[in-house]
Amino acid sequence: MHAISGCDSTSGFFKICRQTAYKMLQRHQDELKGLTEFQSPDQETEMNPARKFDILMYKSRMDRLCSTLDELRLIQSTTDKPVASLPPTEDAFHQHARRAKYQTMIWCSSHIAQPVLGNPSEYGWTKSGDNLVCVRTSKESAPSELRNVTHLYCQDSSCIDGAKCSCLQVGLPCIDACKCSDCPNTVHIEQDNADSDGDGNCNESC
């Protein structure tokens, strides 16, 4: 529980304290008893109880029972719940659970002088130079097709500073609905008036 809910080497859940996690563990001991084998080197072992544990911590009384975090996240995203308080995606959970599993393996091997542990890069970490950096997700935050048509309608006047322009922050061009004018972040589309027949008209009906 300590590794999954957050410790020195694993991230915690926004505004979900350890007391909440402990209460959930007490109330649902039968459903979560598989966590007793969480230290298994097999990366898929006991992932279901860990997922269930996360769902129980995020689930409210009004939410129907969900089998995946993606399903619960979709339900809660249609409410007035802050984005930071939404449950993680299945992919983000999987990376987090891998790191929690690796930390649990270390704790459960602390009585061994030279424990044989797997490569941390196989448990939600990646190597950057001499450091280990956590892999937050292995997928894009959103499909590129969705990002290309989703705009935040920035309020900046010049759109030079990424800290002020919300479109620049996410790598999107400003559009007509934004409040900027003569914006350097606007994509100018040049239309070629000359087409195949030279008269600029479409010969085919739409």
User: What averages of pLDDT result for each successive group of 10 residues across the chain (206 residues)?
Assistant: 90 88 90 87 80 90 82 90 90 93 93 90 91 88 62 69 74 73 66 41 38
pLDDT at 149: 63
* Core vs surface per residue 115-153: b (16+ CB within 10 A) or e: eeeeebeebbbeeeeeeeeebeeeeeeeeeeeeeeebbe
Query: Would you say residue 112 lies in a domain?
Result: yes
Query: Would you say residue 83 lies in a domain?
Result: yes
Residues 51 and 119 in one domain: yes
Task: Tell me, yes or no, if the pTM score tops 0.85.
Answer: no
Nearest-CA neighbor of 134 among 172, 166, 99, 97?
A: 99
Domain that holds residue 59: 2-134
CA distances from 49 to 30, 78, 92, 124, 135 (A): 10, 26, 16, 18, 22
Query: Would you say residue 63 lies in a domain?
Result: yes
Residues 60 and 19 in one domain: yes
Q: CA-CA distance, 178 to 165, in Å (whole number)?
A: 10
Kindly state the tokens that stand for 178: 């934004």
pLDDT at 168: 75
Residues 30 and 48 in one domain: yes
Query: Would you say residue 194 lies in a domain?
Result: no
